[in-house]
Structure 1
Amino acid sequence: MSRPKIAVLATLDSKDDAARFTCGVLRDAGAEPWVMDLSLRPHDNAGADIGGAALAKASGVTWEELAAMERSQAAETMIAGGTKSLLQKFETGDLSGVIGVGGANGSTVFCAMMRALPSLFPKVMVTPVAATAAVQWYVAESDIAMFPTIGDIVLNRITKAVMENAAFAVTGMATSWDKRRIRTEDHQPLIGVSSFGNLQKSVDRITKWLEARGYEVMHFHASGPGGKALENLAGQGELTGVIDLTTSELTDLLTGGVYSAGDGRLRSAGAAGIPQVVVPGAIDHTNWWVGECPERYKSREFYQYNVEILLMRTNAEEMAALGQMMAERLNDAKGPVTVMIPTQGFSQHIIRETQDIDGNAIGSWLQPETDQAFTDTMRQHLTHGRIVELDFHINDHEFADACVEELMKSLEP
């Protein structure tokens, strides 16, 4: 097998030494580096396989025009040209991995480019920002492996060790990627299931029956990144079907909660024509960090789930809005859609008492009339697919079994 070719993303005007060191380690590890210089300004350092002039041209401007831009605009332009060039290299099969070495600005550019590559393709970022709370912003829904440099990117025995680890890691990943590309083994079809801890009984039951029927199952925890990953893999054609049991990220999108997966939720599987069974699982609450609920919501009903998470009970107006939002997204689907509604409750929290913001008990989480607003609005707006109401709780095994059987109608008619 030939040496895997690995793209090295760097700004040679400021990180020339680090880029050269990384390239040397890659060669020692058995890889062939291909250097992309994403510097935003002209400089005299050589050594790039593709540099600013070519990348600017790929984004539709001259190198002189890019260099004259304000820094943030120049970065966006370089991201466009760099992504186009990187994808061209990938699509020809001439690339087996990518590694970036940079600080905060470099990481913004490099990670944006890496996010355009498909899941499972080797992506490694060596950066001091890997140790910050902002890491989720850089990684988003992708599978970039982040290596914290411990110190800033200046060559010394500590940072060299980090770069060596990262370079050998991406070489190993790239070698594995190349082997997978030429393998001809058949895989079991993969079903995506969105999950949450308070729906675990149903998740486990669904998984058991899908696996018994010969499917692989992948769970996506509905805390934001999970929903993004589900949409990402569905859009890439990795999923054969979806049981979207936990659509609560849409509640957080509606209200501004901390577990939103963004506006792309409940879109990609439909666009790809993948069969979907969709459930209003856990849409009966918004997630807030304890102590950070916005002032406008403090008169609402709550339940403190743990030391970090405060749950806010969804009201009837929000339930109606969610019914319309979900229906409109599902109407755009190109494949089969069934909305399964458990009339005895959308989450395990029906056994809880609601509380005011200070923790005083004020009522019951079980509010059938509130939840009915979702069902009524869904019926008004859904024009593609069908709605099935079942007189069970979402965690009842009868409901979980029905979800599997409904998906099988599309996959095994």
Structure 2
Amino acid sequence: MTSPTTILLLGTCDTKLPELLYTKSAITSSQTFGTIKVLMMDIGHGPSTSTEVDIKQSDLLSSAAEPQAQMSTLDRDTYIQTLSTHAASYISNLHQQGLIHGILGIGGSCGTSLATTAMREGLPVGFPKLMVSTMASGDVSPYIGETDIGMMYSVVDIAGRNRVLEMVLRNAGGAIAGMATSYHAQLSEFPEGKTGVRIGISMFGVTTPAVTVAREHLESILPGCEVYVFHATGSGGRAMERLIGEKQLDAVLDLTTTEMADEVVGGVLSAGPERLTAATRRDIPRVVSVGACDMVNFGKFESIPERFAGDTHTKRKFHRHNPTVSLMRTTGEECAEIARRIARNISGKATAQSGCGKVTKTRVLLPTGGVSMIDVPGQPFWDPETDEVLFKTLEKELQGTGIEVVRDEREVNDSGFAVRAAEMLRDLIESCSN
């Protein structure tokens, strides 16, 4: 490491300056991890005049339409949205230049919202991120999203120094120092540049056998490849989309697109309307299937909305997957809409010619023998007529897009189907590398 390990410390210097300075001192005075440099960034509502601030509000707003003098007059929501955008851009530039190796934020609700937004938008997955927050003991999903931000509860409010807060801040400083030092060392040990193709696979409990076989087969037929499995729980799908967008994945075996069912019907595991679009935008090798599109997810059985649980007209099928997860069988109408959404998202930029000079790099493989572990003969969600609506709609919607749709008479968890899917992806990868 030719440059010192550098940590970016950010907070609202107009309200948290003493606590930020204590945290900075706690990091730099420790000799455990060697020499560590700390850059302090001001993300306060009003600009700080402290000479201890390395990156001032004016630095963040140098390219902003709003003059610095007006920032403090903005309402709190507008200020957070405005400053977080510019902070993210500034942080991204620091990272791209290799000038920072870890980031630590401290704050209350507003400071946490601003700091974590900047972290999410400005830094990739894998870069050390830690947030000390008064909000960290509750639902932190709005702050973390699909990223790897670490949240540490401050226990007491970040409003004046005391022994409890100082202990928390010292621990946070030690934690980010350790992470940043390790990350910095890895940059020299494992310089950027892949050694093998990186493949993302989507999985659910009811498609685990297929994913296991496909993963093992890919590792055997593509030496040196890295396989990343994502649990299709909403956050898993968003995480995969993010890594694809960050170019941390090179190919995708999207066997389990169940999150689209939750998005269409209103289940609790939706990954949002943009699921499947990141690979479409990049046009990377991809095989898509319809694993677990026979189900919509809810929590405990009692939590199923009345509009479903009380609907006797459609004779809804339900299955208690475990004490905290209840599944509902999709209808033909819902399957048609799921297919339309999948087709729209995977064909958004599909053309007859792709980036590798051949037909589009997406293929669709349909397991007509059943799309999940419980959608096979003798199991509660077995309904070939409804599945056929899903298959036919996909075929119809993808006509003329250049995306080949292939039917396979086996069920999704049949080892032969999984091997076929893996080899189909391998062929796409190799055709685009030649």
| TM-score normalised over the length of structure 2 | 0.88
Give me the whole-angstrom Cα distance separating, in 2, the residues matched to 1:85 and 1:237.
Answer: 20
Counterpart position of 1:163:
169
Counterpart position of 2:388:
372
Query: Could you tell me which of 277, 284, 288 is aligned with 1:267?
Result: 277
Query: Could you tell me which of 363, 367, 375 is aligned with 1:342?
Result: 367
User: Does the 8 Å contact 1:240/1:275 carry over to 2?
Assistant: yes
Give me the whole-angstrom Cα distance separating, in 1, the residues matched to 2:165 and 2:214.
Answer: 46
RMSD: 1.9
Change (3 A) 1:318 1:54: same
Superposition deviation, residue 270 in structure 1: 2.0
Change (3 A) 1:20 1:295: same
Asked whether 1:285 is paired with 2:298, we answer no
Counterpart position of 2:403:
385
Deviating above 6 A after TM superposition, structure 1's stretches of 4 or more consecutive aligned residues are none
Counterpart position of 1:123:
129
Superposition deviation, residue 352 in structure 1: 9.0
Alignment identity in percent?
Answer: 33
Any unmatched runs of 5+ in structure 2? 355-359
Give me the whole-angstrom Cα distance separating, in 2, the residues matched to 1:264 and 1:240.
Answer: 19
Q: After superposing the two structures, state which structure 1 stretch, 1-10 or 369-378, moved more.
A: 1-10
Counterpart position of 1:406:
424
Residues 379-401 of structure 1 show CA distances to partners (whole Å, capped at 9, x for unaligned) of 11111321111011111101101
Give me the whole-angstrom Cα distance separating, in 1, the residues matched to 2:63 and 2:7.
Answer: 20
- Matched residue type, 1:403: A
Give me the whole-angstrom Cα distance separating, in 2, the residues matched to 1:319 and 1:267.
Answer: 19
Counterpart position of 2:357:
none
- Matched residue type, 2:328: M
Give me the whole-angstrom Cα distance separating, in 2, the residues matched to 1:260 and 1:38.
Answer: 33
Counterpart position of 1:34:
39
User: Does the 8 Å contact 2:340/2:397 carry over to 1?
Assistant: yes
- Matched residue type, 1:160: E
Superposition deviation, residue 35 in structure 1: 0.9
User: Does the 8 Å contact 1:141/1:225 carry over to 2?
Assistant: yes
Query: Could you tell me which of 183, 200, 205 is aligned with 1:192?
Result: 200
Asked whether 1:8 is paired with 2:24, we answer no
Give me the whole-angstrom Cα distance separating, in 2, the residues matched to 1:36 and 1:234.
Answer: 30
Counterpart position of 2:90:
85
Counterpart position of 1:180:
186
> 1:34 aligns to what SS in structure 2?
strand
Change (3 A) 1:353 1:78: farther
Superposition deviation, residue 46 in structure 1: 4.9
Q: After superposing the two structures, state which structure 1 stretch, 7-16 or 293-302, moved more.
A: 293-302
Counterpart position of 1:255:
265
| TM-score normalised over the length of structure 1 | 0.93
Give me the whole-angstrom Cα distance separating, in 1, the residues matched to 2:416 and 2:378.
Answer: 26
Change (3 A) 1:110 1:262: same
Counterpart position of 1:103:
108
User: Does the 8 Å contact 1:330/1:384 carry over to 2?
Assistant: no
Residues 132-167 of structure 1 show CA distances to partners (whole Å, capped at 9, x for unaligned) of 12x111100111111122232243333222222222
> 1:180 aligns to what SS in structure 2?
helix
User: Does the 8 Å contact 1:194/1:219 carry over to 2?
Assistant: yes
